[in-house]
Amino acid sequence: MGDLLLVRHGETEWSLSGQHTSWTDLPLTEHGEEQAKSLAPLLTGRTYARALASPLGRAIRTAELAGLSGLVTDPDLHEWDYGGYEGITTADIHTTRPGWDLWTDGVPPGPEGHPGESPAQIGARADRVLARVDTALAEGAGDVVLVAHAHFLRVLTARRLGLAPAEGRLFQLATGTVSRLSTEHGRPVIAEWNRRA
């Protein structure tokens, strides 16, 4: 059985500034493009049963620059909908909501079409992705790679390890990194985390 590789997209202006970025489709910075290119040695030489990416440009561009081919976009890999907190930093939120925590307090509704999501809703999306991952891994044709976003991939990791979605808070995930989830004695484990070339 293959491994599950998680790729967080390269740096954007908002990931650099700490602004919550879900549907705002910012391009990679020049440094973000270099981060993406540097991932190629970590991803080449493997056989992929499936390569999936968020439909957002920053994820697709990261995959392209990292040399992944045969990529299929999957809307379930979209970043957490931050609702009314899109584009706002945690520090700014704390000026009006001291002690606010995304993982426990959620987000207010945003503009039309962006009601915000709870950890449970993200967990449900992650579970759907993991069901597709398991099918691909069971076929025995290689690894599966997902190119997506920090908060979503953190929730997906929690779910893969049998934890509640909000426990994704335990897994800090840097831009332009590869992490690998594997198994040991039949149980899911983190084999590598936040790896850079």
Strand arrangement of the beta sheet that strand 48-53 belongs to:
72-73, 48-53, 143-148, 4-8, 177-184, 187-195
Is 58 annotated in a binding site? The answer is yes
Q: How many residues does the chain have?
A: 197
Q: Which of 79, 86, 117, 167 is catalytic?
A: 79
Q: Which of 9, 20, 149, 151 is catalytic?
A: 9
67 contact partners, CB below 8 Å, separation of at least 6: 40, 43, 44
Is position 20 annotated as part of the catalytic site?
no
Is position 9 annotated as part of the catalytic site?
yes
Annotated binding site: 58
Annotated binding site for substrate: 58
Mind telling me the catalytic residues? 9, 79
